[in-house]
Amino acid sequence: MQLEIKNLHTYYGLVHMLKGVNLSVNKGEIISILGRNGAGKTTTIKSIMGLAPPSEGNIILKGSDISYLEPHEIAKKGISYVPASRGIFSTLTAYENINIFHMKNSKWNVESVFNLFPKLAKLKFRNGKSLSGGEQQMLAIGRSLVINPSVIMLDEPSQGLAPMIVEDVKDMLLKLKNEGMSIILVEQNLQTALDVADRVYILDQGQVVFEGKSEQLSKNKKLTIKFLGVST
**Looking at residue 200, which CATH number applies to its domain?**
3.40.50.300
Whether 122 is in a domain gets the answer no
pLDDT, average across residues 149-156: 96
Q: For residue 105, name the pLDDT band (cuts at 50, 70, 90).
A: confident
Residue 72 domain-assigned (yes or no): yes
Percent of the chain with pLDDT over 90: 78
**pLDDT tens digits, one per residue of 35-91:** 999 999 999 999 999 999 999 999 999 999 999 899 999 999 999 999 998 889 999
pLDDT tier, 162 (very low <50, low <70, confident <90, very high otherwise): confident
Task: Quote the CA–CA distance of 116 and 123 in Å, as a whole number.
Answer: 14
CA dist 168 and 151 (Å) reads: 20
pLDDT score recorded for residue 80:
96
Domain count across the chain: 1
211 domain residue, yes or no: yes
148 in any annotated domain: no
Task: Report yes or no on 193 lying in a domain.
Answer: yes
pLDDT at 31: 98
Contact 202, 34 (CB under 8 A): yes
What integer pLDDT is reported at residue 17 of this predicted model? 97
Q: How confident is the model at residue 87, as a pLDDT?
A: 87
Q: How confident is the model at residue 134 (pLDDT cuts 50, 70, 90)?
A: confident
- Segment 29-34 shows an average pLDDT of 98
Query: Looking at 102-106, 201-205, 216-220, which range is the least confident one?
Result: 102-106
Q: What are phi and psi of 207, to 5 degrees?
A: -130, 145
Number of C-beta neighbours around residue 139 at 10 A: 28
- What range defines the domain where residue 15 resides? 1-78+153-161+188-232
Q: What is the pLDDT of residue 102?
A: 86
pLDDT tens-digit map of 170-189: 998 999 999 999 999 999 88
Question: Is 106 a member of any domain?
Answer: no
**Averaged over 189-205, what is the pLDDT?**
96
Identify whether 33 is part of a domain: yes
Tell me, yes or no, whether 127 lies in a domain: no
Q: Are strands 182-186 and 30-34 parallel, antiparallel or unpaired?
A: parallel
